[in-house]
Structure 1
Amino acid sequence: GKIVLRIPQPLHPHGTVLITGGTGTLGALTARHLATTHNTRHLLLTSRQGTAAPGATQLADELRNLGADVTIAACDTADRTALTHLLDGIPAEHPLTAVIHCAGTLDDALLTTLGQDQLDHVLRPKVDAAWHLHDLTRHLDLSAFVLFSSVAGVIGNPGQGNYAAANTFLDALAHHRHAHGLPATSLAWGQWQQASGMTGELSEADLARLSRAGIRPMPTDEALALLDAATGTFTEALLVPARLDLKALRARDVEGALPPVLRDLVRATGPVRRTAATARDAAEGPSFAQRLASQSPAERRSSVLELVRTHVAAVLGHASPGAVGATSSFKEIGFDSLSAVELRNRLGAATGQRLPSTLVFDYPTSEALAGHLLEQLAPQGPQDSVSVLGEIDRLESALASVGTDGQDDGTITTRLELLLAKWKEAQNSAARASVADRLQAATPDEVLDFIDNELGVS
């Protein structure tokens, strides 16, 4: 095939720039930026509601005061017929010269509960609209074709499988256009500091979760500067303008929760990461149950409850586990499905247990959850062998120190022999009781089989 070289072009002063989702927060910020910084004079903003959208009239007045000729149109750009009609209405003296696709929506859910309606709700304004924009403008000499994607499609985000898939399509479309010599830039945005329609309803727990994930809010002026830098080149189809918190990424790396695509960013801490991970595993991983084994029943319950409350506090963004009541309902203190998954993942890593995603809903308080984990980690029984083995270990250590001075007058040996005899008698009694129970409940044929197999008599 041929190699196509495209030289970046500035936005044409007499051309029309189409911004989908133009009355939304990011679309409006982009429109103002184009009018003030790029001297764009012809703007076509679309949204589902058009001029009826909140703030649309004020936005139009503001842009006109900046010298722009602006049209706000009600158009479902995912509807090919409606979009065709919109594009046909652009005046010939101000032809379409740039497309900026900002439209999108959220409908979060865990993958196991994601329904067809939620898929359609999120994919349609992103995927269908983007494809129609591409297909209906591919014959035009555009100076820019910008897709507002999301970092969720690059590194993933719990509860946003549909949103991640929609944005990954935009990234792929940008590569597709590049392969055909068409302009395209997909920008996988991180979090903007300016709250948008999609991020404005995030709770404190949601924001804390983003912060722990290593995504920091990006000031608007910085985001718009990155928009200019990204659209001024055609060398990359996909760019990720996001503010990353390297300290938070390192923490996720130590926990083993860092997305593979980000590992090179903290690779310099590799030896530290391995050392820290080893220390963590020794403290909280498979050895957590062993640590419980050396504790009394009361100490075990306290340790597991403290573990649960510590991770609940971290998920909710509290400074200490003291802020989490042992009997407080998870739902009442702000847990949702995403928080539940994060807590499950944290406790699974801390205990070495494979835990269900419904954990928080099955055991709705810290106390109930701690009780369940305690049963998994240190099941109680008439003979608590795990605890007994811990006591034997301590006894063995004590005997080793006493035996070195040769001062045993026989008392310790006698006690040990008596203890061993009692243990053997208890075991034999339990075995005899078990045999008696089996014989009492057995059929004649089973009794004969028992005599043949167990007693060796025939």
Structure 2
Amino acid sequence: MLARRTPGQGTVCRLARLARLPGLDDMSDMGDLGGVVLALGGSTGDSPTAPPLAARDSVVRLTALIRRLAELPDPPRLWIASRQDGPAAATTGPRGVLRAAAYELPRLTASIIDFTSGTDLTEVAADILVAHPVIEISWRDGVRHVAHLRSGSPEEPAAGSRPLIRGGSSYLVSGGLTGLGLATAQWLAAQGADHLILVGRSAPTGDAEKTFARLRESGTVVNVVQGDIADSAVTARATAAAGERPLRGVIHAAGVVEDATLANVDEDLLHRVWRGKAEGAWALHTATAGQDLDFFVLYSSLASLIGSPGQSMYAAANTFLDDLADWRAARGLPATAIHWGAWARTGRGQHLADRGFVMISPEDGTDALGRILTAGHTRVAYSPIEAGAYAKGFPAVAASELLAEFGLAGDDGDSALLDEVLAAETDGRRTSLIQDHIITLTRQILGGTSQHIGPATSLVILGLDSLCAVRLRAQLENSLKTSIDPGVIWVRPTPAGLTEWIMNRMGLRSGEGAGA
């Protein structure tokens, strides 16, 4: 239907079969593409398993398409279009992928547009044909909405009359045997929860057992349910463990963080990340249907809100949680999705402190959890990282409509280095300027490391991983106003080697080619 609207807008539209997208055979003879629209299926209804699986399938298809488009010398604009009426629209996972892709693939402008049934598709087609920056558009009942991020404290909804924690009740925490889940369990007990059901895949560690013993000594009943939270049999056992104490609260803190750039992700990695987060959330949603819950909390991530290089699959899985919270709230069910930043001393982001990131202390985080639940928010982010500053080194992200209110668009970075490089009279001076710049950026990205970094130092051995490499490439592109191929840092992993490649790419050596 959408394809029928675009010819009337003065453009040519060619249909490609969705089933053939992974190979993109239908694009092999299309020449220079002005744009690509990936039309994904709509909602998947109320099947207990179909929504997360359908969303995961959309992520797989989109990732294959992005890889293919990124290989082109001048990637065409990409739009994801989908009808959104149910609990897991097909854009649920892709939204997170695109937010991460803006960091890794700045030459690919990719946006999302979704709409409810009954939307005039002529309006949708008109939006697609406009040369927007990266943008996320939603059409709801004839009204156009654009996603914008705002910093600061949200307005506080009126607090409910019920106490946050009720005596004689049960509270379930998935991922409750380690990390944020275990910290959350301790907070619940401190708030007066007298029965905790803690679910985790692995057996509790010795430290966790000591924590459970302390909680039991203080009068809290702790039931440990070992198993995969995405397994309906495990969620059934966990909810049944409430016994005569009715289940009043669920906090889904389970999840796997596994980083990889879009060029390196595969379906096995996606499965590992997706299973606990997305399928686990849906299993808890279905297992608690009809129960009188006071809260249903989903631990999401800042990665699903503003994206993060190397975390496309993690961001995708968390966007499923975000949309599930919205869907539940729209139907009068308790729902809160929290986009957490990295926590200190617990959780999987502790290493970020070594790179200079401001962290959430467990005390501050659990205090924020209480305030968020009391206020009754459906979607909220809590992080000391200022989103505008986080994205400033990534021009495509900074120029996106999502961050429009931060006023970063048009800030292409300081060109003083480029001016100095171009004004240098010798190859030696140009080499020295670029090489010193690479060393300085590397040191900053690695959190101000005091290790020696010389021209021949291997950045890989130094600790530069795929996420750091994305940051280094983006900052070099920004400061030198040139494009750098994604894999170059691994082929030329020293400051001297990378400088040589950049000098050739920029044509700064007389008589040499444009690139290696």
TM-score of the two chains, using structure 1 as the length reference: 0.71
Structure scoring higher RCO (CA < 8 A, sep ≥ 6) equals 2
The structure that is helix-richer by fraction is 1
1:174/1:186 contact within 8 Å kept: yes
Change (3 A) 1:259 1:193: farther
Partner of 1:121: 272
Aligned 1:75-94 pairs, distance under 5 A: 75-91=227-243, 93-94=244-245
Change (3 A) 1:31 1:255: closer
Change (3 A) 1:8 1:153: farther
3-state DSSP of counterpart to 1:173: helix
1:126/1:166 contact within 8 Å kept: yes
Match of residue 371, structure 1, among 493, 500, 506: 500
Cα distance, 1:139 vs structure 2: 0.5
1:289/1:377 contact within 8 Å kept: no
1:28 is the counterpart of 2:182? yes
1:12 is the counterpart of 2:166? yes
2:353/2:359 contact within 8 Å kept: no
1:138/1:182 contact within 8 Å kept: no
Letter in 2 for 1:239: V
What is the alpha-carbon distance in structure 2 between the residues aligned to residue 259 and residue 74 of structure 1? 45
Match of residue 296, structure 1, among 411, 421, 426: 426
3-state DSSP of counterpart to 2:263: helix
Give per-residue Cα distances to partners, 1:309-335, cap 9 Å, x unaligned.
222222223379x94201111222221
Partner of 2:381: 240
Change (3 A) 1:14 1:109: same
Worse-matched range after superposition: 74-83 or 137-146: 74-83
Cα distance, 1:245 vs structure 2: 4.6
2:413/2:479 contact within 8 Å kept: no
1:62 is the counterpart of 2:211? no
Match of residue 223, structure 1, among 344, 365, 368: 365
Partner of 2:140: none
Partner of 2:484: 355
2:181/2:253 contact within 8 Å kept: yes
2:359/2:384 contact within 8 Å kept: yes
Partner of 2:12: none
2:341/2:360 contact within 8 Å kept: yes
2:197/2:238 contact within 8 Å kept: no
What is the alpha-carbon distance in structure 2 between the residues aligned to residue 314 and residue 146 of structure 1? 36
TM-score of the two chains, using structure 2 as the length reference: 0.63
4+ residue runs over 6 A deviation: none
The structure that is strand-richer by fraction is 2
1:20/1:46 contact within 8 Å kept: yes
What is the alpha-carbon distance in structure 2 between the residues aligned to residue 360 and residue 137 of structure 1? 48
Q: Paired residues, what number?
A: 353
1:184 is the counterpart of 2:335? yes
Aligned 1:55-454 pairs, distance under 5 A: 55-91=207-243, 93-196=244-347, 198-200=348-350, 202=351, 206-207=352-353, 209=355, 211=357, 216-234=358-376, 236-245=377-386, 249-250=388-389, 253=392, 256=395, 258=398, 260=400, 261-262=402-403, 264=405, 266-267=406-407, 277=411, 280-281=414-415, 283-285=416-418, 287=419, 290-292=422-424, 295-318=425-448, 323-381=452-510
For structure 1, list consecutive stretches of 5 or more residues without a partner in the other structure. Answer: 384-458
Give per-residue Cα distances to partners, 1:231-253, cap 9 Å, x unaligned.
1133x31111111358xx44853
Partner of 2:193: 40
Change (3 A) 1:259 1:74: farther
3-state DSSP of counterpart to 1:114: coil
Give per-residue Cα distances to partners, 1:348-388, cap 9 Å, x unaligned.
111111111112112121111111211222443469xxxxx
Change (3 A) 1:33 1:240: same
Give per-residue Cα distances to partners, 1:77-120, cap 9 Å, x unaligned.
110122123323431x2111111111111111111110111101
1:289/1:378 contact within 8 Å kept: no
1:104/1:122 contact within 8 Å kept: yes
What is the alpha-carbon distance in structure 1 between the residues aligned to residue 413 and residue 239 of structure 2? 61
What is the alpha-carbon distance in structure 1 between the residues aligned to residue 336 and residue 399 of structure 2? 23
Change (3 A) 1:327 1:252: same
Cα distance, 1:336 vs structure 2: 1.4
Change (3 A) 1:284 1:251: farther
**Identical aligned residues as a percent:** 29
Letter in 1 for 2:353: L
Change (3 A) 1:180 1:227: same
What is the alpha-carbon distance in structure 2 between the residues aligned to residue 254 and residue 56 of structure 1? 40
3-state DSSP of counterpart to 2:167: coil
RMSD (Å) for aligned C-alpha atoms: 2.8
Worse-matched range after superposition: 372-381 or 123-132: 372-381
